[in-house]
Amino acid sequence: MISNITLVHVPNDAIKIAAILRYYGIMNPCKICIMPEFNGKKQFFRAYIKVNNWSDNISSQNLQARIKDPCKEARLVYQDDDWWAIEETEKEDLKYTESDAFQKWTTRFALKPRVRFAELATELATESVQIQVEA
């Protein structure tokens, strides 16, 4: 399983990136570090993402397979003509999510605990409830 990915040409907005990754059911990030880069005089941003967990669906599985395949480019298309290239983070770039030196450019995400409604309903159904009526 891939634990760190890099997105190229992203907005300088970790919250937006995380929201898109979650909205499309790709994965839940643990940390996102956004760093500026330059191509000549043009600035763009690269996001280094530590993955908390990948979603358990076919889209997420297909994307991971493309990321692992060196002959294919992996892309996340989030609007008609808008997409991000995705690659597995190279070893020397792990410093962005692993080192404390880049904390001011890093956003951490906490997962909200999921409520398993079937388990909760069963638990509630098996509890005895006593009602007292006062006259």
* Domain annotation covers residue 36: yes
* Domain annotation covers residue 61: yes
Q: Which domain holds residue 32?
A: 4-126
* Domain annotation covers residue 134: no
- The domain total for the chain is 1
Cα 14 to Cα 10: distance, rounded to the nearest angstrom: 9
* Domain annotation covers residue 133: no
CATH number of the domain encompassing residue 30: 3.30.70
The tens place of each residue's pLDDT in the chain, 135 residues long, gives 899 999 999 999 999 999 999 999 999 999 999 999 998 999 999 999 999 999 999 999 999 999 999 999 999 998 888 999 999 999 999 998 888 888 888 999 986 655 555 665 665 555 554 545 555
pTM: 0.78
* Cα–Cα nearest to 89, from 98, 80, 78, 102: 98
* Domain annotation covers residue 100: yes
